[in-house]
Amino acid sequence: MYPENFLKQNRGYSRQENRQGMFKEFDATELYCPKCKQAVQVRKRLLLVLPEGDKYEYLCAICSEPVGSKIDKQQTTSLII
């Protein structure tokens, strides 16, 4: 098998284009808890509503220790009156 033949067949394929549309959002199901000293299931809790998006906190399902956070970017702009 010759590498140049493989590259000629896939000229129309753009790796960067495929990566951008592949995943839009992730939600963690397990994270490492330093208190339990193992990877555990997590619960997602809304922490703050910010102009750039909603901030969520991930809590350990066993001991309720905060183990991470994430900001969900909002697609549409919200108007607060």
Tell me, what's the pLDDT at 33? 95
| Phi, psi dihedrals of residue 60, rounded to the nearest 5° | -65, 135
Q: Confirm whether 60 is domain-assigned.
A: yes
Q: Is 25 inside any structural domain? A: no
> Is 78 within a domain?
no
Q: How does pLDDT run along the chain (81 residues), one tens digit per residue?
A: 566 655 555 555 555 555 555 667 778 899 999 999 999 999 999 999 988 889 999 999 999 999 999 998 876 655 667
**7: in domain:** no
Would you say the pTM of this structure is higher than 0.75?
no
Looking from the CA of 48 toward its CB, the CA atoms found within 13 Å total: 9
What per-residue confidence (pLDDT) applies to 52?
87
